[in-house]
Amino acid sequence: MSTEAVAQTPKAPKANPPKEGGKSKKSKKSDQFLLKTPKGTKDWADKDMIIREGIFSSLTQLFKKHGGVTIDTPVFELREILTGKYGEDSKLIYNLEDQGGELTSLRYDLTVPFARFVACNSISSIKRYHIAKVYRRDQPAMTKGRMREFYQCDFDIAGNYDTMVPDSEVLNILCDGLTNLGINDFKIKLNHRKILDGIFQACGVKEEDVRKISSAVDKLDKSPWEVVKKEMVVEKGQPEEVADKIGEFVKLNGSIREVLEQLKSSEALSTNESAQKGIEEMAILADYVDAFEINKFISFDLSLARGLDYYTGLIYEAVTAASAPPKNASELKEKATKDAKDAKKDDEDASEYVGVGSIAAGGRYDNLVGMFSNGKSIPCVGISFGVERLFSIIKARVAKQLDAISSTQTQVYIMAFGGGEGWNGFLKERMSVTNQLWKAGINSEFLYKNKANIRKQFDAAEKSGARVAVILGKEEFPKGEVRIKTLGQGNDSDEGELVKTDDLIQAVQQKLADLDKDGLDQITRLIKAI
């Protein structure tokens, strides 16, 4: 059923009834509204939820494996907590109305609330993960997972540790997180803010302009260098020779060691303290990346800037072939805008002319906690997985296999076979057996009908997605026996296995285990692309 429909608002009763013999006036036009979700949001149900819950489960297990503890924070924060933390993206924050004298805004990400949480609770070290919704007043592209309300799955490490050790573990989590979801064709683009800032300084950018130029460079994944250079020169007032010098650096990419060699040979950077500090840290990271065996996924890319203001060191984002916009994006955008205008619609969707974007991203932010705790800074580094973007990739991959999977998680269906004189359908007995299975942690169902024919029970079992049937036979059950049958192989493929009711739980558990290949259930195998 479509989420859009036209609904009528109820009419208020007339204050005065019509005079006797008179006619009440009818409204010329009934009050109507369009029944839909707000722009950039959607309802989630049925098989889409199977994929999303699979993503949550996979990432949660990974976070716990690395020692993470979970927290939760309010969906809205005091506005001053969020103000000034996101650079040019601050315009995308959803501000709420004044409530009881407090100005608040919906959280833009989970990182700033985490930093506020660390400061509020005087925490000196923590590995935390947080899975929750965030909100951005951005142009949506629904089929690409770019939405105004969406989930992020974050893992962050706060505390004072040896240089680049937490950073390398977070990169390992990023790689495992994606490969565990069956996404293997990704590349982690990484850079270092100290190196980037050093490049800008060495090329002649004034200190007060560094963040502005950084946000321009950050657009190189969507726009060619000529467009970015024009923004630097025309919109942000940099001399053309400064932009050209920057251009020579931001075009560099390759393995960590390859790019380091080029940076170390640069005379312009040789005396820059910021750049040299970043180069030193990246050299350490190169060894740790080798230790974790994730070097093949990494590209040291000097065009990566990450527009958020709070990053202070290593920055990174994971991209796939679906991340980039179409080559003719500008023409597609122009057409989509014209079509929306012609149709007199103000809810243009950007799906046709944008890419999925980064599917995970993060970095080091050593000063953010200090903004909330009178300068007492706690170094932090983290990663954020974009669930809706991961969902769009996984759904495209598993669309055909998903048709064969039920949206319910029923494992066993309890049936009763019989008939003739004295047959009561064993409804009470089916309830009792189902209850035993529930108490053993087995997802089970039975048909809510006293005397159900065999065909209806099999149809219900198929609809539920159950893989095993427990059959209570008219002659067998009174003798303390039930039949266990594998479903999904045709109604008459086998008679099933006759077992004692006392052995029912163990027999069902073994049957389900035998059906799970490599100990993984059907949905886990689907999500992991096994």
Q: Are residues 203 and 299 in the same domain?
A: yes
Determine the pLDDT at residue 28: 47
pLDDT at 4 over 50: no
pLDDT at 407 over 90: no
| Region 7-29 average pLDDT | 47
User: Is 406 within the bounds of a domain?
Assistant: no
**Of 88-92, 187-191, 441-445, minimum mean pLDDT range:** 88-92
pLDDT digits (tens, 9 = 90+) for 160-169: 999 999 999 9
Q: Which residue has the higher pLDDT, 315 or 489?
A: 315
pLDDT at 14 over 60: no
Our CA angle for 483, 441, 478, nearest 5°, is 30
Residue 18's pLDDT band (cuts 50, 70, 90): very low
Q: Are residues 450 and 362 in the same domain?
A: no
| Region 115-128 average pLDDT | 96
Residue 20's pLDDT band (cuts 50, 70, 90): very low
Q: Per the annotation, where are the binding residues?
A: 109-111, 136, 152, 156, 306, 310-311
Q: How far apart are CA 246 and CA 91, in angstroms?
A: 27
| Region 170-185 average pLDDT | 96
Determine the pLDDT at residue 349: 64
Record the pTM.
0.83
Domain boundary residue, one of 401, 432, 467: 401
pLDDT at 24 over 50: no
Q: Are residues 311 and 442 in the same domain?
A: no
pLDDT at 220 over 90: no
User: Is 111 within the bounds of a domain?
Assistant: yes
Q: Are residues 97 and 201 in the same domain?
A: yes
Domain boundary residue, one of 338, 373, 401: 401
Q: How far apart are CA 420 and CA 286, in angstroms?
A: 77
Residues of the chain above pLDDT 90, percent: 63
The separation between CA 75 and the C-alpha centre of its own chain, rounded to angstroms, equals: 16
Q: Are residues 92 and 202 in the same domain?
A: yes
Q: How far apart are CA 117 and CA 459, in angstroms?
A: 51
The separation between CA 60 and the C-alpha centre of its own chain, rounded to angstroms, equals: 12
Q: Are residues 140 and 264 in the same domain?
A: yes
| Residues listed for the chain | 530
pLDDT at 439 over 90: yes
pLDDT at 89 over 70: yes
Q: Are residues 64 and 30 in the same domain?
A: no
User: Is 41 within the bounds of a domain?
Assistant: no
User: Is 40 within the bounds of a domain?
Assistant: no
Q: Which residue has the higher pLDDT, 150 or 222?
A: 150
| Region 433-462 average pLDDT | 95
| Region 502-513 average pLDDT | 95
Mean pLDDT computed over every residue of the chain: 87
Q: Are residues 394 and 442 in the same domain?
A: no
User: Is 260 within the bounds of a domain?
Assistant: yes
CATH code of 431's domain: 3.40.50.800
User: Is 339 within the bounds of a domain?
Assistant: yes
Q: How far apart are CA 113 and CA 134, in angstroms?
A: 11
Q: Per the annotation, where are the binding residues for L-histidine?
A: 109-111, 136, 152, 156, 306, 310-311
257: phi then psi, degrees, rounded to nearest 5: -70, -35
Q: Are residues 343 and 474 in the same domain?
A: no
Among 174, 218, 195, 194, which residue's Cα sits nearest to residue 86?
Answer: 218
Helix (H) or strand (E) holding 277: helix 273-291
Q: How far apart are CA 496 and CA 483, in angstroms?
A: 6
Domain boundary residue, one of 381, 401, 421: 401
Q: Which of 24-28, 113-117, 135-139 has the highest mean pLDDT?
A: 113-117
Among 342, 382, 423, 346, which residue's Cα sits nearest to residue 109?
Answer: 382
Q: Are residues 459 and 490 in the same domain?
A: yes
CATH code of 183's domain: 3.30.930.10
- Overall domain count for the chain: 3
Q: Are residues 217 and 307 in the same domain?
A: yes
pLDDT at 493 over 60: no
What tokens were used for 45?
A: 């149900």
User: Is 1 within the bounds of a domain?
Assistant: no
Q: Are residues 54 and 110 in the same domain?
A: yes
Which residue segment(s) compose the domain that 510 sits in? 412-529
What tokens were used for 131?
A: 């899975």
User: Is 446 within the bounds of a domain?
Assistant: yes
